[in-house]
Structure formats: C-alpha cells, structure tokens
Amino acid sequence: MANKISQDVMPEGSQRIIGRDAMRINIAIAYAIAQILKTTLGPKGMDKMLVSDLGDIIITNDGATILQEMNVDHPTAKLLVEVAKTQDKEVGDGTTTSVVIAGNLLRNAGQLIDKNIHPTTIVRGYELAEKKAQEELINIAGKVDVKKKEELKKIAKVALGSKGIGTDMDKDHIASMVVDAVTHVVERSDGRVVIDLDLIKIEKKAGGSVNDTQLIKGIVLDKEVVHSGMPKRVEKAKIALLDAPLEIEKTETDARISITSPDQLEAFLKKEEEILRRMVERIKAAGANVVFVQKGIDDVAQYYLAKHGILAARRVKKSDMDKLARATGARIATSIEDLTEKDLGYAELVEERKIGGESMIFVEGAKDSKSVTVFIRGGTEHVTSEVERAIKDSIGAVASVLKDGLYVVGGGATEVELAKRLREYAKSLGGREQLAVEAYAEALESIPSALAENAGMDPIDTIVELRAKHAEKNGIHYGVNVLEGRVDDMQKVGVLEPYRVKRQALASATEVARLILRIDDIIASKGSSKDNKKDTSSETDLD
C-alpha cells in the first residue's frame, strides 16, 4: 500500500529502489570502481587509457585523474570521485588507496548485511574501527629528520614509484628535484611549518627526455617577446606588471566619429599614436626595462617599446602575473598613469629561449628567491602530462611529511599491522560490532593483496605470509616488496610514506562507506523534466 501511494506521489517516469536492493546496487557500484583502480596500485600497477567524447586521450594510473576523466554517471560512483578529490586536495597523494579501501569496506559490509546485521550496527563498528586504527597509526609512525634530504627523497621516490615515468635514474633525478623545490619554499612561523605550494610553478613542454626535466629558481612563462626589435635578454631587469592594455580600447558606450577629410583622418591617427607613445614613455619614465601585460599590446606600442629597448610580453595569465608579483616584488598596476618606480620588481635575468621549437621567457634570480618552476620535458605530450601528475603527487607527499615530521612504512606493511591490531581489538568488543571491526581489518588487507597481485605474486599466499611475519616480535615493518616479488622488511628497503596520507585515506574511506551504507532508498526523478516541458509547450500553444 505504501509503495502504491509513493508511486502516485512521484512524477511519471521516475524510479525508486528500496531497502536491501538499494544497498546492494550502491555496494556493487562502489566495489566495481575500486576494482577498476586496484590494478593501478603500486610500482607494478598498470595504466588506463581514457578517451573522451572529442577523441582526446589520457594515459595514466593516477587514481584522481582516472575517476575525474571516467565521466561516471551513477550517484554512488560520484561519491567515490569526491573521496579521490578530497584526498588529492588535502594531501596530494593516496587517492587509489582511499578508493580501494572504501570499495572493500562496502563489499564486506554487504556480506554482513546478507547475514542480517543491520547497516547501523555495521556503521557503528566501522566508526570504532577507524578510531582505533587512527590511534594505532600514530603509535607505529616514525619521525623523519626533515633536515636530511635523503630521508625526504625516499618519500618522494615512493610517490613517484607508482607512475610509469621512465627509468629508476629518471625517478632519482625527479625525486631530488621535488625535495629541492619543496624545501626551497618552506617557511617556519611560530614554530609551525608553512608551505605555500603556489610558489612552485609547473610548466611542461614536449621534447627531450624525462631526465631533461629541471628545477629553475624563478618563473618560466609560455610566452614570447612580442616584437622582433626588442632585446631577447635583459640583465638586472626592472619589471613592470600591467593589468591594463597597451592599446586604445573601444568605449563601452556607443560612439561615432565623423571624419570628412584626409586631414581629419591623419589627425585622428596621429592622436592615437600620440596616446600610445605617451603610455610607453610613462613606462620608460618609471625605469622599467621589462614589461609583462595581462592584456593586449598595440603594434604601435610594440614599436615604441622596442625603440626604448624594453622587453615585453602580452596576454600573460592572471595566475602567472600573481606568481611574478610574488617572485619579483612588483606590484600589479591597473593604470599606466599611476605606475612609479616603487611598483617595479627586480630579477637578475629575463631571457627568451627556444625550447622544443617554441619560445619561452625565463625570469631568474628574482628578488624573492622562494618562487621556483619545475620545467618538465618528455618525449610526447602524454609523457609530460603523466610526469606532471607524478610530480604533483610527490610534492604533496613531501609537503605532508614536512608538516607532520612523521612517516609510516609502505608496501602494505602499515595496513597489515593495523589489521592485526584491529582483530585483537575486536575480541574486546561485545555485540555485533565485533564482526564489523573484523570486516574493517579485512578491507585494510586489500592494499597488500592488490600490490601482490599487480606484481604477479599470489595474493592469498602473500597475506598468509605477512600475517605470520607480523605475529613475530619484530615483524611490524614487513610488507610486499613488489620489485623483487617477495615479502620483505620495507623499512630496510626504504619504502616510506607520509603519515598524513594514510591518516586521510582511512578517514575518507570510512566517511564514504558510512555515507553509502546509510542509504536505503534511491529515488530517481527521470523523465519529469521532459513531461514539464511538454506541459509548458501545450499551454503556450493554447495561449
């Protein structure tokens, strides 16, 4: 009877799925997404090729990128996309881990629901398990000596390890560069570590090899000098930043100029030229020998700038203007009339260089040496894009460690140890929550299991061996050594991960599992908008 009433209330064409069926669908979709990402986990993980409607191709094994580009339609799948986005924004790495754990938490919950355990009981058990896991995680975390770059390099290399970006030598080179970049922009304020990652600009250009990627202490702009008569290299540059056009803009109000003779036309053109010349002379009077303009530069203005020996670039992005302002100490002027010497920034060198057949402007030795650019090279656009994603993950990992000063051991060692401790904790619980805590522990073991499977090892044998090792007195750091295909002490191997990444992965996975398990009714009002349109059109015809 209740079903009949609800169908009468809802618009025609809508769908409703109730109770266990709704839960099973949600769990199946979440687990399917986790299974898609599972094969990308770890250094031996495979890549995905994603083709858009327009035929654009992305080849990657970055979890956040895969989920964003998959263009998923189901609401549950979109919730998992949100998990990946949160993980990516918060810590910059560990997106695949969080989604795989979330998918397995839901699959295990589905098995408990089939045993007539209420979802609310499972959610309560998962919350207890996450709280205990977070407590144990801080207990097994180790301290990183942030002054030792070799320690940070290990963490950077692990973040790069899961990306197919060339040889071990390439990864060594990039890991060193990432550590240099992050430590360069780090500041300490009131005893806290403050890292502004906006100070690290990432620019890429296809050509060369991954090993040609370099760190530049300054800003690189994907722009060229606007006039052939301008200098291509300026030392001891005094830089003006303009958020105003060096051209005569059309007025917002409609206006008409009536010219009736050649003399009037000549006078009009001379007036325009005079206005542009005065603009350039104003820049020259302020003492600038380099000018970056966010808007356009007229041909006449280009000529006068070249005549005065001023290097200029136009249509510079707002984000790049902000970075230039921070790097050089310049103030972005919104009016040329107000430009003074105090508004100018300083850099040791501004130079146009040919990279991969295209011109780029390098601003080096800036007043604020905190700003750096990671200039990525690679054989193709796809390679440079994947290197960019890998570097962003690695930067996030190193920044996380510097903020906390804590690390955990990778290779699934942390997950196995947490699972072991959760099983011991479950024994102390009464009631059905005990089963949910055990299900949570099993979900954590999906990480070492996936690592083993991706490396061609037997996942069941690997988990059995890992449990045995962790039962020993000094077995806390044993995980999956995917490069050698065996169970190993991952701390000795040097596989370290940021504590913050693991903490966020557990929190995100539990949050989304709790959210999805509480859903017992899916109401999709499809078709209602079409019906409304039909009704509207019929009313219009009658009128």
Q: Tell which wins on pLDDT, 85 or 459.
A: 459
> Which of helix, strand or coil describes residue 43?
coil
Q: What pLDDT shows up at residue 478? A: 92
Predicted local confidence at residue 531, as pLDDT:
43
Tell me which of 124-128, 192-196, 514-518 is least confident.
Answer: 192-196
Closest CA relative to residue 115, chosen from 432, 427, 335: 432
Contact between residue 415 and residue 389 where contact means Cβ atoms under 8 Å apart: no
pLDDT at 237 over 70: yes
Q: Which pLDDT tens digit goes with each residue over 472-481? A: 888 899 999 8
Q: What is the largest CA-CA distance in the chain?
A: 99
Radius of gyration of the chain from its Cα atoms, rounded to whole angstroms? 30
pTM, two decimals, is 0.77
Per-residue pLDDT tens digits for 80-132: 888 888 877 777 777 888 889 999 999 999 899 888 888 889 999 999 999 99
| Mean pLDDT value across the chain | 83
Higher pLDDT, 290 or 370: 290
Confidence band of 527 (pLDDT split at 50, 70, 90):
very low
**Which residue among 298, 343, 393, 488 is the active-site one?**
393
Beta bridge partners of 194: 187
Annotated catalytic residue: which of 40, 65, 86, 96? Answer: 96
Predicted local distance difference test score (pLDDT) of residue 537: 42
The answer to whether 359 and 226 have CB atoms below 8 angstroms apart is no
Q: Which of 60, 62, 65, 343 is catalytic?
A: 62
Classify domain 12-143+408-524 by CATH number. 1.10.560.10
For the chain, which residues make up each domain, given as ranges? 12-143+408-524, 148-217+371-404, 218-368
Residue 162: predicted pLDDT: 67
Alpha carbons 366 and 238: distance in angstroms, whole number: 10
* Bridge partners of residue 524, in order along the sequence: 15
The token pair at 203 is 């620019």
| From 95, 373, 384, 510, active-site residue | 95
If you classify domain 148-217+371-404 with CATH, what class do you get?
alpha beta
In this model, does residue 293 exceed pLDDT 80?
yes
CATH number for the domain running over 218-368: 3.50.7.10
State residue 536's pLDDT score. 42
Percentage of the chain beyond pLDDT 70 is: 86
Please report which confidence band the pLDDT of residue 9 belongs to, taking 50, 70 and 90 as the band edges. low
Residue type, 363: V
Q: For residue range 120-170, list pLDDT tens digits in order.
A: 899 999 999 999 999 999 999 888 877 778 888 888 888 887 666 767 677
**Separation between Cα atoms, residue 471 and residue 465, nearest integer Å:** 10
Is the model more confident about 344 or about 263? 344
Angle of helix 95-114 relative to helix 119-140, nearest 10 degrees? 140
Between these two residues, 258 and 291, which has the higher pLDDT value?
Answer: 291
Inform me whether the pLDDT recorded for 502 exceeds 50.
Answer: yes
Query: At residue 25, does pLDDT exceed 70?
Result: yes
- Cβ atoms of residues 108 and 442 within 8 Å: yes
Residues 313 and 488: their CA atoms lie apart, in Å, by 55
Does 96 participate in catalysis according to the annotation? yes
Confidence of residue 265 (pLDDT cuts 50, 70, 90): low
* Average pLDDT, integer, range 202-214: 85
Catalytic residue check, 393: yes
